Amino acid sequence: MTDLAWIDLALTAARPQAMGALLRYFRDLDTAEEAFQEACLRAIRTWPDKGPPRDPTAWLIFVGRNSGVDQIRKSARNTALPDENLLSDLSDAEAGMAERLDSSHYRDDILRLMFICCHPELPATQQIALALRIVSGISVTQIARAFLVSESAMEQRITRAKARVGKAGLPFEAPSAAERAERLPPVMAMIYLVFNEGYSAGADNSDVASLCDEAIRLARLLLRIFPGEAEIMGLLSLMLLQHSRRDARQTADGQVILLEDQDRSLWDRRQIDEALALLDKAIRHRTPGPYQVQAAIAALHARAARAADTDWREIELLYQLLEKLNPSPVVSLNRVVAFSKVRGPAEALAMLEPLAQALDGYFYFHGVRGALLVQTGQKGQAREAFSRAIALARSPAEAAHVRQELDKLKEELQAS
């Protein structure tokens, strides 16, 4: 790695805290962003010669704050140009500053920065775009590439999101413990949205796939400032477990490989180990939540050396718990799948019936129903279900997968 690449990493790592502090100071997103940008430029100019400061984040906040104040003064044509000496020697100021920074504001600054990106009026895509731009500092060009839209369209989307957030008023008072607790669920949901955006894209678009890494980084950051929150441990564990299968869940030409057919030696052991450690920590708290339960389900898959070793009975129980915590027809559908492995396809089909209305427009419902009908030998109905699934598929890979099932069925019918 070159010097500059290293500085780039340090700037990325410092960004959420530095931006959070500058936002608290200037109370305006654009001013905070410009100030941070200016501080980064100065870092790139001075760090290679002088060496990186002991606390890069404190340095960036200090320099950013001064340059932001300069900017405000200049635009107000208020006083004479600011004294450059203020910025020339930071080494003395740094020690005291670092101490102040490490204290109380740190976690509320980062939480606020994340929280404003999940304003309830913002649609999911805008939340993700805003978080990637504001919290992660990913360039508009890169975000646009990930969402397959033009740069100007993405620029507009982010500007609109910022305007909406600004109009709603940013929450600058230090939050109470209750307010802090209220802010966590939407922030976790936003991080999971970022992850899913990357996950659903598959491996062929690396700009999108890197969103998974970014979501994991944000969750680690959130957990570091709220180390005792079991649901954040659950969320991080869940994402690591899903991400650990990245290299195993698609063929070279982009076809979906189902969990039970994946080559488990391709799963990332390191991510699995970290995820299991986090889940162990979370369970100690005895405050189950949806992320922990989903992580526990994913962990049971990760623990099975072969698909046949999967503990479906336990998975079915966990889906029951998830149904209680987070009732939704999709969760019930997943429970049916686990149930079918334990009790067989006929009982599972009966369990599926009441979900038909709610999930009629859902690809997976018809896919699951088709697979169960194949198992009970109702091939005509199975074919209908698969055709319906193909019509509802959201990606060519999904459609191709069901088409394979349909072809298999045809071959069997012809053979008999």
Find the shortest distance in angstroms from Cβ 14 to other proteins: 8
Identity of the residue, 93 or 225, whose beta carbon is nearer to other proteins in the bound complex: 225
- Would you state the structure tokens that stand for residue 72, as one six-digit string? 């405000």
Identity of the residue, 213 or 311, whose beta carbon is nearer to other proteins in the bound complex: 213
Question: CA angle, corner 189, sides to 188 and 194, nearest 5?
Answer: 95
Give the C-alpha distances (Å, rounded to integers) separating 267 from 208, 242, 278, 308.
20, 10, 18, 17
Distance CA 246, CA 200 (A): 11
Pattern 1-40, binding to other proteins, x per CB under 8 A? Answer: x---xx--xx-xxx--------------------------
| Residue whose structure tokens are 């690396």 | 206
Residue of the chain from 21, 110, 278, 293 that contacts other proteins (CB under 8 A): 278
Q: How remote is the C-alpha of 284 from its chain's centroid?
A: 24
Distance CA 120, CA 402 (A): 36
By the rule CB under 8 A, 273 interacts with other proteins: yes
Residue of the chain from 120, 228, 361, 377 that contacts other proteins (CB under 8 A): 228
Distance CA 368, CA 386 (A): 9
- Choose the binding region for other proteins from 225-233, 249-257, 289-297, 309-317 (rule: CB under 8 A): 225-233
Question: CA angle, corner 62, sides to 56 and 63, nearest 5?
Answer: 90
By the rule CB under 8 A, 236 interacts with other proteins: yes
Decide: 113 and 14 in contact? Cβ < 8 Å: no
- Choose the binding region for other proteins from 188-196, 220-228, 299-307, 360-368 (rule: CB under 8 A): 220-228
By the rule CB under 8 A, 145 interacts with other proteins: no
By the rule CB under 8 A, 356 interacts with other proteins: no
Find the shortest distance in angstroms from Cβ 86 to other proteins: 25
Identity of the residue, 217 or 313, whose beta carbon is nearer to other proteins in the bound complex: 217
Residue of the chain from 281, 341, 343, 403 that contacts other proteins (CB under 8 A): 281
Burial class (CB in 10 A: 0-12, 13-18, 19+), 414: exposed
List the interface residues with other proteins, window 49-78 (CB under 8 A). Answer: 52, 55
List the interface residues with other proteins, window 300-319 (CB under 8 A). Answer: none
Neighbours of 216 (CB within 10 A): 22
Residue of the chain from 27, 50, 224, 303 that contacts other proteins (CB under 8 A): 224
Q: How many residues make contact with other proteins (CB under 8 A)? A: 26
Q: How remote is the C-alpha of 110 from its chain's centroid?
A: 16
Strand partners, 256: 250
- Would you state the structure tokens that stand for residue 248, as one six-digit string? 């195993």
By the rule CB under 8 A, 223 interacts with other proteins: yes
By the rule CB under 8 A, 238 interacts with other proteins: no
By the rule CB under 8 A, 103 interacts with other proteins: no
Q: Is the dihedral of CA 275, 279, 281, 287 positive or negative?
A: positive
Strand partners, 250: 256
Identity of the residue, 49 or 173, whose beta carbon is nearer to other proteins in the bound complex: 49
Interface with other proteins by CB under 8 A: which residues? Answer: 1, 5-6, 9-10, 12-14, 52, 55, 213, 217, 220-221, 223-224, 227-228, 233, 236, 273-274, 277-278, 281, 284
